[in-house]
Structure 1
Amino acid sequence: MNTKCKSVLRVALVLVMGAIGAAGAAEKYPNKPGRLILPFGAGGSTDIIGRIFAQRFSEVWGQTLVVDNRPGAGGILGTEIAAKASPDGHTIFTYGINQAITAGLHSKLPYHHLRDFTLISLYATMPNILCVTPSLPAANVGEFIKLAKAHPGKFKYASSGIGASPHLTMELFKATAGVDLLHVPYKASAQGYTDTMSGLIQAFFFNLPGPMPHVKAGRLRALAVTSAKRAEQVPEIPTLLESGMPDFEVTVWQGYAVPKGTPQKYVAAIHAAMMKALESPDLRKRFFDAGVSAAPQTPEAFRKFVEAETTKWKKAIDISGAKVE
């Protein structure tokens, strides 16, 4: 073989190896930091638990997942942003109970909570907790109901927005107990805690993790949790079932979803990273300390779960008479 031919072959070999290397680099995933859209404000339970999980998930996934809080309209604003985001596998959405609720509460939404997303898995479940301002003369649910009935329309309750689980939980409570309370929606749950501690607001239902430190410090008085059994983190607080409200059970949940059209290989990689993250003893301890339980699922099981939750909350909305204000 002459020198010219050898040179041509060497060039060809370099080009082929370069192409193979480039193809391998193109397949690397994730290849940049990710964006985690979280549809509620900083300081609330969705944010607290979302950040705990995002930290461990990032370590397993191999890239930083940057939390992007997009509160507004009970989670609708952030959900719309996520639904319209690029399906490149680097945008992940904190998909929670409010998706199932708003689907039944609003006749028109700028997205469809099932068709516009690929659901990946749950990662956490928790109860809501009923708290009142410490100055209110009510030591239990029965006393709170009696007091509220004696002062119809006088007491105000906080929520994290119209259509969020704290709003619908209280509306269901109102319908079940036969009381009249004024709804005050907040853009961020943390401000609702503060105003209840000060007495500006008299009561609320919020996800357990956010109020729990204030309850333990005596800044809020807890009357009940919405789970079927008492929460292990606050075993002294009874359930609503124990407090004379049969069939009143609400479990709050959070998971991950991605915009529709995200390649299946990326969906599988995100799910695998979630499952590995949820195996971490350190994460499970941090979850427990915060008031939640780990809840891994397959994508198929998660979708069926959301479908069932959507049906359940539509019935609850009809029973409570809750409307978009």
Structure 2
Amino acid sequence: MRHTSRLIASLLLAVPGLLLAPAQAQTDNYPDRAITMIVPFPAGGPTDIVARLMAKQMGDQMGQSIVVENRGGASGTIGMQAAVNAKADGYTILYNTSSIALSSILYKNLSYNPEKDFAAVTSTATVPMVLLVHPSVPANNIQEFVDYANKNPGKLSYASSGAGNVTHLTAFLFSQSANIDAVHVPYRGSAPAMIDLVGGQVDYMTNTLNDSLQFVRDGRLKALAITTAERSEQLPDVPTLAETVMPGFESGAWQGIVAPTGTPEAIINRLNEEALKALQSEEVKSQLDQQGTQILGSTPAEYQAYISSEIVRWGKVIEAAGVSID
């Protein structure tokens, strides 16, 4: 009996090691097959382009393909839900945008919590936004625009590519901070909004740099300010809001990578390492520079904290704007 008891005790002590062995092997051999990167937006859009660039570079570095799967719809929530439902083994990751923070505030009936159901890997990039005005608006710099708008309350209108998205909320935050009384005109996407802005049906808009550059270079729109903390190399003569009329103002269409909660920490760290390496590769850097996209990069903990802080920050803006999707 004494020998039997000792045998059982030794087996019980060995069980945790036996259970951990397969998991450890999976981590050590990661990745041993293709990885799926869910992009919660349609193929061909600005987010998809950067995601595919990162997937290609990271896949080459890791010796396994990273296959992009577009799951667009409902402001990105369909793709995010698909990522939440995936097995937390490192073989499904999500290329996310600021919508991961905004959707949790705008959609009251989400079945997932972005802070609890995703494990952050890293921030990747931010697309600067530009305050654009139609040439008919009598202002050639941001101070002149604010002065004109304040002297003409209710006269101006601003476009967005959809109620509650980053183009709307950035313009709302700017207008609110500058005490500008203007009418919001939401559109179904950036293209129709820009068409009406160029046509003079609306007066101003904050839009992503990559959607705006050609219109500015052609002289069809005036760029008065950059909304991110630093100037853009693509428009070096355009000042930031922070350095002119609004110290501390910062808003951009940021992006990053997350995985389902429960993904092993060792795999999260490996993905972080490979993503940061990809961001410093000449291929990725040159492509993002051409688009005017600013490279970020962070630790998993830093990105997790940033997502949480953005939920708090934009929650206040969305409440003030009175926006809700459902």
Q: CA deviation at 1:82?
A: 2.2
The CA distance in 1 between the partners of 2:110 and 2:124, in whole Å, is 25
Alignment of 1:137-286 (within 5 A): 137-145=138-146, 146=148, 150=152, 152=154, 155-159=157-161, 161-177=162-178, 178-186=180-188, 188-286=189-287
Q: Which residue of 2 aligns with 1:323?
A: 323
Q: Which residue of 1 aligns with 2:52?
A: 51
Counterpart AA for 1:152: G
Counterpart AA for 1:108: N
Q: Which residue of 1 aligns with 2:302?
A: 301
Q: CA deviation at 1:221?
A: 2.5
Check whether the contact 1:158–1:192 (CA below 8 A) recurs between aligned residues.
Answer: yes
Q: What are the superposed Cα offsets for residues 68-126 of structure 1, whole Å, 9 maximum, x if unpaired?
A: 33333333233223222333422221122222233334443221011111110111134
Q: CA deviation at 1:151?
A: 7.1
Give the TM-score normalised by structure 2: 0.78
The CA distance in 2 between the partners of 1:295 and 1:169, in whole Å, is 20
Check whether the contact 2:40–2:71 (CA below 8 A) recurs between aligned residues.
Answer: yes
Q: CA deviation at 1:49?
A: 2.6
Counterpart AA for 2:321: G
The CA distance in 1 between the partners of 2:53 and 2:154, in whole Å, is 40
The CA distance in 1 between the partners of 2:26 and 2:249, in whole Å, is 53
Check whether the contact 2:130–2:207 (CA below 8 A) recurs between aligned residues.
Answer: yes
The CA distance in 1 between the partners of 2:299 and 2:280, in whole Å, is 14
The CA distance in 1 between the partners of 2:105 and 2:26, in whole Å, is 44
Mean CA deviation greater in 147-156 or 207-216? 147-156
Check whether the contact 1:284–1:293 (CA below 8 A) recurs between aligned residues.
Answer: no
Check whether the contact 2:133–2:224 (CA below 8 A) recurs between aligned residues.
Answer: yes
Mean CA deviation greater in 191-200 or 91-100? 191-200
State the secondary structure of the residue aligned to 1:209: helix
Check whether the contact 2:149–2:181 (CA below 8 A) recurs between aligned residues.
Answer: no
- Unaligned residue ranges in structure 2 (runs of 5+): 1-23
Q: CA deviation at 1:234?
A: 1.0
Counterpart AA for 1:170: A
Q: CA deviation at 1:194?
A: 4.2
Is the alpha carbon distance of 1:142 and 1:284 closer, same or farther for their aligned partners in structure 2, counting shifts above 3 Å? same
Is the alpha carbon distance of 1:268 and 1:242 closer, same or farther for their aligned partners in structure 2, counting shifts above 3 Å? closer
Mean CA deviation greater in 198-207 or 168-177? 198-207
The CA distance in 1 between the partners of 2:263 and 2:53, in whole Å, is 24
Check whether the contact 2:225–2:239 (CA below 8 A) recurs between aligned residues.
Answer: yes
The CA distance in 1 between the partners of 2:229 and 2:112, in whole Å, is 32
Is the alpha carbon distance of 1:123 and 1:133 closer, same or farther for their aligned partners in structure 2, counting shifts above 3 Å? same
Check whether the contact 1:124–1:294 (CA below 8 A) recurs between aligned residues.
Answer: yes
Counterpart AA for 1:300: A
Give the TM-score normalised by structure 1: 0.78
Is the alpha carbon distance of 1:35 and 1:107 closer, same or farther for their aligned partners in structure 2, counting shifts above 3 Å? same
Q: What CA RMSD, in Å, does the superposition of the two structures yield over aligned residues?
A: 3.1
Counterpart AA for 1:293: Q
Check whether the contact 1:48–1:209 (CA below 8 A) recurs between aligned residues.
Answer: no
Is the alpha carbon distance of 1:201 and 1:236 closer, same or farther for their aligned partners in structure 2, counting shifts above 3 Å? same
- Unaligned residue ranges in structure 1 (runs of 5+): 1-22
1:89 pairs with 2:90: yes
Q: CA deviation at 1:274?
A: 0.8
Q: CA deviation at 1:40?
A: 3.0
Q: Which residue of 2 aligns with 1:40?
A: 41
State the secondary structure of the residue aligned to 1:282: helix
Counterpart AA for 1:268: N
Check whether the contact 2:95–2:255 (CA below 8 A) recurs between aligned residues.
Answer: yes
Is the alpha carbon distance of 1:85 and 1:26 closer, same or farther for their aligned partners in structure 2, counting shifts above 3 Å? closer
Is the alpha carbon distance of 1:26 and 1:300 closer, same or farther for their aligned partners in structure 2, counting shifts above 3 Å? closer
Counterpart AA for 1:119: A
Check whether the contact 1:225–1:238 (CA below 8 A) recurs between aligned residues.
Answer: yes
Q: CA deviation at 1:310?
A: 2.1
Q: CA deviation at 1:165?
A: 1.6
Q: Which residue of 2 aligns with 1:16?
A: none
Is the alpha carbon distance of 1:49 and 1:218 closer, same or farther for their aligned partners in structure 2, counting shifts above 3 Å? farther
Is the alpha carbon distance of 1:78 and 1:167 closer, same or farther for their aligned partners in structure 2, counting shifts above 3 Å? farther
Q: CA deviation at 1:197?
A: 3.4
Is the alpha carbon distance of 1:238 and 1:120 closer, same or farther for their aligned partners in structure 2, counting shifts above 3 Å? same
The CA distance in 2 between the partners of 1:101 and 1:278, in whole Å, is 25
The CA distance in 2 between the partners of 1:72 and 1:149, in whole Å, is 40
